[in-house]
Amino acid sequence: MTAATEADAMVRPERDLVARVRAGESIACARMMTWAERGDARFAAVYGEFESELGRARRIGITGPPGAGKSTLVERLATHWRAQERTIGIVAVDPSSPFSGGALLGDRVRMSSLALDKGVFIRSMATRGVFGGLARATDDLADVLDLYDRDDILLETVGVGQSEVDVARSTDLTLVVLHPGGGDTIQAMKAGLMEVADVYVVNKADMPGLEQLVHQLTDTLDVRDVPLDERPPILTTVASSGEGVAELAERIDALDAERRASGKRDARRAANLRLRVRRIVEGRLQHDIWQESGLARTLDERVADGRTLSAYGLADEILNAYRERRNLEGPA
Amino acid sequence: MTAATEADAMVRPERDLVARVRAGESIACARMMTWAERGDARFAAVYGEFESELGRARRIGITGPPGAGKSTLVERLATHWRAQERTIGIVAVDPSSPFSGGALLGDRVRMSSLALDKGVFIRSMATRGVFGGLARATDDLADVLDLYDRDDILLETVGVGQSEVDVARSTDLTLVVLHPGGGDTIQAMKAGLMEVADVYVVNKADMPGLEQLVHQLTDTLDVRDVPLDERPPILTTVASSGEGVAELAERIDALDAERRASGKRDARRAANLRLRVRRIVEGRLQHDIWQESGLARTLDERVADGRTLSAYGLADEILNAYRERRNLEGPA
């Protein structure tokens, strides 16, 4: 894209944006994602124009503890599906700073072999300072990629932490990636990863400790008394060399096809929708009370005057003020 | 405590609970913590009776990636301060399952050497299903321990993930515990741990890779351009043998004394209060919309009828219904 075209793209009316994303214009896709990430009201405003077209793309979560090799695996899976002419969207949720909002030491374009392929759209997202929470934003970014006509949407996220696990849940299918020798495996499993796994991937399978990890996984499934036919399969890969990746991709294809046929995928999407609506509603209420009603400022002033240090007393004050203001304004 | 006394304790009027916690009755302390954890309205109701007494205890966060040896370090620090006749409260935030709400493979009383000491009160908390979020609950548990007249309150939490890092922030002082050879160190730092650290503890300092990790830490502080006199100190420990723990404890004592004197501690407490009030308000609003207003059920029904899959459309419906109901009821 020339500089002139790019500048032109920036000034075109917003109402065209949906059509431009639909037509596969990458700059429009990136722009709509920025709206989504920031919780820009324009995203919600245009959502109605395309919502009925959504749901075509396959959404796959890739999660696991740090160091498991998730990014490399994502790169390999994307390459596998690209070879079948499938288009790919990747959202990589980067850990970032809670105070500065910026990623530290972040290598934002790690998936370099894919970066020049127009069939692959990569978006990196900070975990902090995202309006309305991580999972809310990830859902919206995935919708944009769906509208952008991607066949597969891969959501990569660190699988330790409450918000991060939420991201892994809002998919059609989730891989939990572990690696041998990581002392943090059991911890990662305790952090809720056991339940979000549709497939276990033991990556770095050429490292010592493979059998031990597979036994550990099997034992944990035994302890939890998961019926044999409902157990997530355990597959092994060496993402760095590509070993086992084709088998993994084919297993995902088969599992997804089976779930579409059985109605399981639709049931999961309904459950995801319920959680998603909750997140949107809560995000809006928060915006309403703190920004719209100006109570963030009131709170700052009340804390600064130092006359009370009562958390619950202040909370009552703020809530009463909010309700009064809301009632004066009448129903929205 | 005999069974009779225990039964008696359970039926005594709730209004005595504050006095009983204040008097050092452990069963009352545990009970009030349960109220706090569940977001029971009785906690907020009695809060006004003791809020003015709070703030005496020192609140110390211990966080870091899984496998860094945080629990062992907490045990050692507690033992150190116990030898000085200080009373200790420990809140260990366990990773747990997002679906079942229960901890998996959890060893809830890990700190066995302290378990029989009446000067140590240990509480383990799940990370999931906690009403109003992890940080909200942890703040309240710490308040109960403060009322219970603990000198030091140690909050242990896994330092990967947004909610978990929030817990680490709501303290007077936070240790970030790392260990050599953990491939996840840089990842942990990216996840926001750099900014919450008041002291870095490189634990398992007898393992290979110590120097490399210390260099890595120093380099990261260089890159971030932190002035030399504001850099968190880096201390090394071997918690399993106790090596370096006394020095660490003394450094914490000195740092805390310095911050009290300079007013930095009060400034931090004001900032923490602001965040805490936000969390309480948001938790109440959520309870109000989903439970009180019955809209959780409305949402379930709307998703189940399958006529719309529009997340933003449903969110609008729910918010409008909420505002209508609120206005009909008048101000709270």
B243-274 pLDDT, tens per residue?
A: 999 999 999 999 999 999 999 999 999 999 99
- Among candidate residues B43, B32, B137, the one with its CA nearest the CA of residue B93: B137
Average pLDDT over residues B96-118: 49
What pTM does this model have?
Answer: 0.78
Sequence-distant (≥ 6) Cβ neighbours of residue B48 within 8 angstroms: A310, A312, A313
Task: Mark which residues 200-239 of A lie under 8 Å from B by CB.
Answer: 220, 223-224
Quick check: helix, strand or coil at residue A60?
Answer: strand
Q: Looking at the domain that runs over B54-262, which CATH code has it been given?
A: 3.40.50.300
- Among candidate residues A114, A120, A148, the one with its CA nearest the CA of residue A25: A148
Quick check: helix, strand or coil at residue A19?
Answer: helix
Closest in B95, B192, B324 to A191, CB measured = B95
> Which strand (E) or helix (H) includes residue B157?
strand B152-158
Question: For the ranges A102-111, B156-165, B182-191, which has the lowest average pLDDT?
Answer: A102-111
Instruction: Check pLDDT > 80 for residue B104.
Output: no
Closest in A99, A165, A309 to B98, CB measured = A165
Q: Compute the C-alpha angle B291/B296/B298, nearest 5°.
A: 125
Domain boundaries, chain A: 1-52, 54-262, 278-329
Closest in A220, A314, A318 to B105, CB measured = A220
Chain A residues lying within 8 Å of B323, measured CB to CB: 326, 331-332
Kindly determine whether residue A97 and residue B195, on different chains, have CB atoms separated by under 8 Å.
yes
Question: Does any CB of chain B come closer than 8 Å to the CB of residue A129?
Answer: no
Dist CA A245 CA A203 (whole Å): 10
Q: Which residue of A has its CA nearest to B325?
A: A331
Dist CA A164 CA A224 (whole Å): 23
Dist CA B166 CA A2 (whole Å): 44
Smallest Cα distance from B319 to chain A, Å = 7
Cβ contact B239:B76 at 8 Å: yes
User: ipTM greater than 0.85, yes or no?
Assistant: no
Question: Tell me, what DSSP letter sits at residue A103?
Answer: P
Cβ contact B139:A137 at 8 Å: no
Angle between helices A26-38 and A41-50 (to 10 degrees): 120
Confidence band for A96, pLDDT divided at 50, 70 and 90: very low
Q: Which residue of A has its CA nearest to B99?
A: A195
Q: Residue A82: how many CB atoms within 10 A of its CB? A: 17
Strands (E), chain A: 58-64, 88-94, 120-126, 152-158, 173-178, 199-202, 234-236
Closest in B163, B304, B311 to A280, CB measured = B311
CA distances from A205 to A111, A179, A232, B73 (A): 21, 7, 18, 32
Dist CA B204 CA A85 (whole Å): 49
Cβ contact A171:A61 at 8 Å: yes
Question: Tell me, what DSSP letter sits at residue A170?
Answer: S
Instruction: Check pLDDT > 90 for residue B92.
Output: no
Confidence band for B86, pLDDT divided at 50, 70 and 90: very high
Kindly determine whether residue A273 and residue B47, on different chains, have CB atoms separated by under 8 Å.
no
Dist CA A68 CA A73 (whole Å): 9
CA distances from B91 to A39, A269, B112, B154, B228 (A): 35, 37, 14, 6, 33
Q: Which residues of A127-159 are buried (b: 16+ CB within 10 A; e: fewer)?
A: bbebebbbbbbbbbbbbbbbbbbbbbbbbbbbb
Average pLDDT over residues A63-71: 83
Sequence-distant (≥ 6) Cβ neighbours of residue B202 within 8 angstroms: B178, B179, B180, B210, B213, B214, B217, B234, B235, B236, B237
Q: What is the predicted pLDDT for the residue at B112?
A: 60
By DSSP bridging, strand B152-158 and strand B88-94 are parallel
Percentage above 90 pLDDT, chain A: 49
Dist CA B139 CA B145 (whole Å): 10
Sequence-distant (≥ 6) Cβ neighbours of residue A288 within 8 angstroms: none
Smallest Cα distance from B199 to chain A, Å = 17
Q: Exposed (0-12), middle (13-18) or buried (19+): which is A283, by Cβ within 10 Å?
A: middle
Question: Does any CB of chain A come closer than 8 Å to the CB of residue B273?
Answer: yes
Structure tokens at A16: 């065209």
Q: What is the predicted pLDDT for the residue at A167?
A: 78
Kindly determine whether residue B66 and residue A65, on different chains, have CB atoms separated by under 8 Å.
yes
Task: Mark which residues 171-190 of A lie under 8 Å from B by CB.
Answer: 182-184, 186-190
- Partners of B90 in beta bridges: B122, B154
Structure tokens at B19: 């006095």
Kindly determine whether residue B187 and residue A94, on different chains, have CB atoms separated by under 8 Å.
no
Chain A residues lying within 8 Å of B189, measured CB to CB: 104-105
The half-sphere exposure of B104 on its side-chain side, counting CA atoms within 13 A, is 26
Contacts 24+ apart (CB under 8 A), A314-323: A314/B273, A314/B277, A315/B277, A315/B280, A315/B281, A315/B284, A318/A289, A318/B277, A318/B281, A319/B281, A319/B284, A319/B285, A319/B332, A320/B331, A320/B332, A321/A293, A321/A295, A322/A289, A322/A293, A322/A295, A322/B281, A323/B326, A323/B331, A323/B332
Structure tokens at B92: 């260990």
Q: Which residue of A has its CA nearest to B308?
A: A52
Render pLDDT for B32-82 as a digit per residue (tens, 0 to 9): 999 998 888 899 889 989 998 999 999 999 988 777 888 889 999 999 999
Helices (H), B121-263: 134-147, 162-169, 185-188, 194-196, 210-223, 245-262
Question: Does any CB of chain A come closer than 8 Å to the CB of residue B251?
Answer: no
Question: What separation, in Å, do the N-terminal and C-terminal C-alpha atoms of chain A show?
Answer: 43
Q: Which residue of A has its CA nearest to B266?
A: A306
Cβ contact A66:B184 at 8 Å: yes
Render pLDDT for B152-178 as a digit per residue (tens, 0 to 9): 999 998 766 666 677 777 899 999 999
Q: Which residue of A has its CA nearest to B223?
A: A105
Q: Residue A169: how many CB atoms within 10 A of its CB? A: 19
Question: What separation, in Å, do the N-terminal and C-terminal C-alpha atoms of chain B show?
Answer: 43
Helices (H) and strands (E) in chain B, counts: 14, 7
Structure tokens at B115: 């378990």
Cβ contact B331:A320 at 8 Å: yes
Render pLDDT for A160-218 as a digit per residue (tens, 0 to 9): 666 667 777 789 999 999 989 765 555 555 556 777 889 999 999 999 989 988 888 88
Percentage above 70 pLDDT, chain B: 80
Q: Which residues of A45-55 are buried (b: 16+ CB within 10 A; e: fewer)?
A: ebbeebbeebe
Cβ contact B127:B134 at 8 Å: yes
Amino acid at B305: D
Render pLDDT for A134-170 as a digit per residue (tens, 0 to 9): 788 899 999 999 999 999 999 998 766 666 677 777 8
Q: What is the predicted pLDDT for the residue at A193?
A: 72
Q: Give residue for tokens 């939990």.
A: A176
